[in-house]
Amino acid sequence: MRPARLAALFLACVPAAASAQAGPQPTGTWLTPAGDSQIRISRCGAAYCGTIAKVLAGETRDVHNPDAGLRGRSLVGVALTRDMRPAGEGWEGSLYNFRDGRTYSGKLAMKGPNVLELSGCVLGGLICKKQMWTRVE
């Protein structure tokens, strides 16, 4: 491939990668739809990571963790989203669901300055569930 064509191809791809970076960012503290926990999302290198900041109701221990040695740990501080990198109109990475102890492929997408859509998928994206989180901070 000629250098000029390679450069054109690269430049054509840059806006797609950068689109997730334009506009509101997911950093901050978010309330889950059930109002039972708050998740803090921050930069971790070139990606975003989210940890449980507060458990407001329900189970406070990681009782469904597949590692029996971790089932007694507090949910506060547990990584919920990992390595969320720009993809399309949002970010993609992995999600840990402490309610079932499983890790899923997931996406984050800003739906406004104070609304974050989180979706987790199984079977290569065939079955997905979405939640809308609201910004606390």
* φ, ψ (nearest 5 deg) of residue 21: -85, -20
What per-residue confidence (pLDDT) applies to 18?
Answer: 41
Tell how strand 127-135 and strand 28-31 pair up: antiparallel
Question: What stretches in the chain show pLDDT beneath 50?
Answer: 1-20
Could you tell me the two tokens for 2?
A: 């000629």
* pLDDT (0 to 100) of residue 21: 56
What's the structural domain count of the chain? 1
Structural domain containing residue 58 = 3-135
**CATH code assigned at 81:** 2.40.128.520
- The rounded distance, in Å, linking the Cα atoms of 29 and 48 is 13
Looking at residue 122, what is its pLDDT? 78
Q: Quick one: pLDDT at residue 24? A: 84
pLDDT at 125: 64
pLDDT of residue 20: 47
Which candidate, 89, 83, 18, places its Cα nearest to that of 50?
A: 83
Please report the pLDDT score of residue 128 as a whole number.
84
pTM: 0.78
pLDDT at 22: 64
